[in-house]
Structure 1
Amino acid sequence: MTPPREALEHLSRALSAPGDRSSDFDLNPDTLLPEGRTLRPAGVLVPLWERDGELRVVLTKRSSRLKHHPGQIAFPGGKQEETDRDATDAALREAEEEIGLPRSSVEILGHLPVHETVTGFSMAPVIGLITGPFTPVAEPGECEEIFTVPFAHVSDPARFSVQYRRWRGTRRHYYTVPFGPYYIWGATARVLRGLADRMAACD
């Protein structure tokens, strides 16, 4: 088990290194995307939480009643509203609404390159360390469950695999990084894989 301070130092080095934008289509190079498409800005928080002597990532299981990505594993976050200053502000606002994480309890450590989702969002991942009081409370309309996974698990490229399923009549490949009963895949796994690659490059 990597001590939290060592893990955070390693993460700091990784976040200072250059990184490329990512996309839900990275593993599907034959996908033809419309020229001049307009992406909607969004922000997600990658909350890191020290629990029982290790660093863990807080994730959610989306409500099965949602129109988009029901039941999938996701970071807290959502689209940027007009009242948000930027994507970071959107991520913090959504995290407070979805999982009860006060923005005053989050220290922003850095950002990952934006990720284009299959649903047309330009998603900005914000890395935040929970440094203050936090009692997870799931917003019923958005979130079925709040859980944590070890940061060491999702920041190790060896834990990831590539799988596929049929989507709109074609075979779509995607990253997965399962943990216990949780099947982490899609945009969430792709963002974590990008972070894992940067962590590995900074070993």
Structure 2
Amino acid sequence: MRETYEPFLRQLRQDLCGPLPGRAAQYQMAPRPRPGAELGDEPRPDARQGGVLLLLYPHEGQIFLPLILRPNYPGVHSGQISLPGGGYEPSDDDLTATAQRETYEEIGVHPSQYTVLGHLTPLYVAASNFIVLPTIAWIDYRPAFHTDPYEVAALIEAPLLLLLKPETRRVEPWILRGRQIEVPYFALGDHAVWGATAMMLSELLALPAMKLAPGRSNA
């Protein structure tokens, strides 16, 4: 089975070592106008550091990645869909370790099970004042997920091929923090993936390796 995915993985590793699509790709899925954009896109001096994990794995002949639905809580990301991850702790060696620790705590996948391939462009999330580093990893099989009910209301296994379909990207007018904005989002069944998570996914999907995703027509 590994041979089926090797051309994709080889290109993905190469993509992550070269110039990344960066902000241009991220901003394709940014709310317009961006909440907090009036303050600029540069991080505040007191911004915290965080890490998230985009964990790719094969299942049913294609590639998936896990997203999580956050529980409702007093906070700006309450009830939103996100990537596994969280804030840096002093015990973490770096932000990759942050993403790995949080992923294990939230969905039960241990770092020993997967291989880190590289990173996407850090994204400043003004709403929560975090600079987030996305880490890309690969596991050769669908993991046995074990979610923490305190941090995860639901696990969403997102097919890469569905995210790549143009019709999955949609835009709606929303009222957010008292004003109307245009919000691009990925439509995954009953779920809308928007904001920082959608922006990070947008950069992943802009990588040349996506043309080699198994099951995708390259014509």
- Indicate the TM-score class for this superposition, using the shorter chain for normalisation: 0.7 to 0.9
**From 24, 40, 44, the counterpart of 1:37:** 44
Which structure has the highest helix share of the two?
A: 2
What's 1:5 paired with?
6
Gap change, CA 1:156 and 1:80, over 3 Å in 2: farther
Once the two structures are overlaid, the 10-residue window that deviates more, 31-40 or 55-64, is 31-40
Cα deviation 1:151-190 (Å, max 9, x = unaligned): 1222455632333322233333333111112211111111
Identity across the alignment (%)? 29
In the other structure, the counterpart of 1:150 is 159
Task: Give yes or no for the alignment of 1:93 onto 2:98.
Answer: no
Q: Deviations over 1:15-47 (max 9, x none)?
A: 234232457867426932167712210000001
Aligned to 1:104: 112
User: In the aligned structure 2, how far is the partner of 1:92 from the partner of 1:161?
Assistant: 31
Aligned to 2:33: 28
Aligned mates of 1:55, 1:101 — CA distance in 2: 17
**Larger RCO: 1 or 2 (CA < 8 Å, sep 6+):** 2
Unaligned runs of 5+ in 2: 213-219
Aligned ranges 1:1-203 → 2 under 5 Å: 4-19=5-20, 20-21=22-23, 22=26, 27-28=32-33, 31-33=37-39, 37-38=44-45, 39-65=47-73, 67-117=75-125, 118-131=127-140, 134-156=143-165, 159-199=168-208
CA gap 1:52/1:27 in 2 versus in 1, 3 angstroms: same
Q: Are 2:31 and 2:184, in contact at CA under 8 Å, matched by a contact in 1?
A: no
Counterpart of 2:217 in structure 1 is none
Residues of 2 paired with 1:133 and 1:80: CA distance?
27
In the comparison of the two structures, how many residue pairs are matched? 201
Q: Which moved more, 1:108-117 or 1:123-132?
A: 123-132
Normalised TM-score (structure 2):
0.79
Aligned to 2:216: none
- Distance between the aligned counterparts of 1:132 and 1:198, measured in 2? 22
CA RMSD of aligned residues (A): 2.8
- Distance of 1:48 and 1:147 partners within structure 2: 13
Compute the TM-score of the two structures, normalised by the length of structure 1: 0.85
Please give the secondary structure, in 2, of the residue aligned with 1:56: strand
Distance 1:152 1:202, change over 3 A: closer
Alpha-carbon separation, structure 2, partners of 1:10 and 1:92: 23
Tell me, in whole angstroms, the C-alpha distance in 1 between the residues paired with 2:206 and 2:142: 31
Note closer, same or farther for the CA distance 1:119–1:14 as it changes in structure 2 (3 Å cut): same
When residues 60 and 129 of structure 1 are mapped into structure 2, their CA distance, relative to the original with a 3 A threshold, is same
